[in-house]
Structure 1
Amino acid sequence: MSKLKYAFFGSVLGGGIYSGFTNYEKKMNDNKTPKAVLIRMSGNIAGGKGSKFGGSKPLNLQNYSSSLERAFKTENAVAVILEISSPGGSPAQSSLLHSKLLHLRKKYPSSPPVLAFCTDVCASGGYYLASACDKILVLPSTLIGSVGVVSPSLGFVDLMRKHGIEDRTMTSGKSKVGDHPLAVRNKDAVSQKRAIMDELHKDFIGKVVKARGSKFNHAAAASYQRSVKGESSWNLTSYLLSLITFGVFHSEGGEEDSPLFDGSVYTGGKAVEFGLADEIYEDMEATVKEKFGSEVKVVEVKEKMSMVEMLTNDLGGGFGVGRGLGTEIADGFFEGIKENFEASWGNRP
């Protein structure tokens, strides 16, 4: 291929990418059309930016802070939509995202309502994030809840002994190793880990209760859980017992005893019944138009990406415009190629 052809295809490619972003920016900055600003938040909640050579980025404040800021600053926005699908992850990153949302709602007091549309799963840290929104909407099949803390652990002591392997770990502090998988379990270390988990759990519950406390129906959840376990079928007596334990007579504190906060997961329908979520939806865009008007356009916020990231994102799926650019930018990309091609060659015989 000649240098002229390389230059031509390079200019077409560059023009396509530029036009794609230009078309996207026009949609975001259009002050006439009412917009529902969408941010898709999926995957495990963890620290780090992720690889520049493809694959999804972890869900954390570092990767989503600018998108959240931009969503709240968008002109003529009627809603900020978070499409959430996450099983949870880091307690710290979950807390940071939760706090960021609350901060933005205070920073922009005239900002539109923030709606969480939960898809496959919205559990643990995913629910932590969703609870900071004005409303939580779920599919009937969404799995939601899991308000709890887990610390997976294995022990290899007997296996090591069987194969003649000895642990020779050295420390300069008696609590440095903690509940180590290569050492016999130490009661003090286990107690210390339990105390940390309980503290994290109480903080999690406290944030969720502060955000949605009045919406929770602990009594209905307790009655349902007993019936599922076969302890008793639903009746007036069991429901009144639930009210006494978790309902209107429930004293301050002790929320960690509620079946809504014991790590249980519920389907979308039960989540709405128990106050973990607000509404059932079937189609996000249709629901948005029903709530805010048929003229509303759902516009997705995109993270700015380097050329390397654009061309290598989702590398496993092949070269080209990666998923991270989204459908709208991809459409603009190909429109840009067409425009540049026609400008360069359209008038030639």
Structure 2
Amino acid sequence: MHLCRAMADFLARAFSLPPVVAVLPLAGVIAPRAAMLGRQPLSVETLGPTISRAFRLRRLAGVALVVNSPGGSAAQSALIAARIRQHAEERKVPVTAFVEDVAASGGYWLACAADEILCLETSLLGSIGVISAGFGFAGLMERIGVERRLYTAGEKKSLLDPFRPAREDDVARLRAIQEALHGRFKAWVRDRRGQRLRAEESELFSGEIWAGERAVALGLADGFGELRATMRARHGERVRFAVFGRVRRPWWSRLLPTPEGLIAAAEERAAWARFGL
């Protein structure tokens, strides 16, 4: 009797299909258009179909977001995170974010789409804020004798024209926009992290960034963990990983850099450089 039961258990294990974890790499700058010398930024357009395919897998035990992003567009961050949550709630599948080098600003927004955030002691997390940067050329234009001619229909149409001195009302308008975006970011973090946050909001939402141990102490992450070891511990050694990549641009569009691509590449480099990467 015991031999028959043991044989039945062995056959069940031998012929049962292993669970599957879908792995979604979220690496790069978050932006609405692809102009980065062959590298597409993270956007709902480039990631949407991939997210859908990941959640349609059979025997799906969970979805892992591998986050490595310095941030970018607030709108695209919100759209991507919302798409992940929609599929997760439809499939009733747990989502875990694994932060690698950095989940900052929009990158942290994406991490918060997960039910759980794990990081490394060397990861950087946070930067819950909004930033805008540019250059002013008003003095240069005057010195080289170039006159700026700008015509608008609507007195508020021009905002912080780099070829004119900054105006107080323009700066005030920009700050109002930033405050609105910051408010939405804070609401998202409150909604997703809830009672797990363990610090004053003045500290959490200051735009500061923290290394992994401090981020866990503040409640911005739940603990430490690496993708494969964590998922094998949870789902067994036989768990399978299905890694999904973004749809790439056609090869001919990646042959030669365009001026727009060079500018985008410089902007991407600057975004990473803010975190020493």
TM-score, scaled relative to structure 1: 0.65
Given candidates 150, 162, 165, the residue that maps to 1:181 is: 162
- Alignment CA distance shift 1:315-1:270 (3 Å): farther
Q: Is the 8 A contact 1:98 1:129 kept in 2?
A: yes
| Helix, strand or coil at the partner of 2:85 | helix
Letter in 2 for 1:167: R
Q: Residue 23 of structure 2 corresponds to which residue in structure 1? A: 38
The reply on whether 1:66 has 2:49 as its aligned counterpart is yes
Q: Is the 8 A contact 2:25 2:245 kept in 1?
A: no
| Helix, strand or coil at the partner of 1:47 | coil
- Alignment CA distance shift 1:154-1:137 (3 Å): same
The reply on whether 1:159 has 2:103 as its aligned counterpart is no
Q: Residue 5 of structure 2 corresponds to which residue in structure 1? A: none
Q: Distance in 2 between matches of 1:50 and 1:164?
A: 33
Give the structure with the larger helix fraction. 1
1:53-202 to structure 2, matched below 5 A, reads 55-109=38-92, 111=93, 113-202=94-183
Q: Is the 8 A contact 2:23 2:64 kept in 1?
A: yes
The reply on whether 1:291 has 2:234 as its aligned counterpart is yes
Q: Residue 274 of structure 1 corresponds to which residue in structure 2? A: 218
Q: Report how far residue 301 of structure 1 moved.
A: 2.2
Letter in 2 for 1:288: M
Letter in 2 for 1:72: F
The reply on whether 1:48 has 2:33 as its aligned counterpart is yes
| Helix, strand or coil at the partner of 2:67 | strand
- Alignment CA distance shift 1:165-1:314 (3 Å): closer
Aligned residues: 242
TM-score, scaled relative to structure 2: 0.81
Letter in 2 for 1:299: A
Larger Rg: 1
Q: Is the 8 A contact 2:46 2:247 kept in 1?
A: no
- Alignment CA distance shift 1:76-1:119 (3 Å): same
Q: Distance in 2 between matches of 1:45 and 1:305?
A: 15
1:140-199 per-residue CA deviation (whole Å, 9 max, x = no partner) reads 111111010011022222222222222222222211111111112211111111101100
Can you give the 5+ residue segments of structure 1 that lack an aligned partner in the other structure?
A: 1-30, 219-245, 247-254, 317-349
User: RMSD of the TM alignment (CA)?
Assistant: 2.3
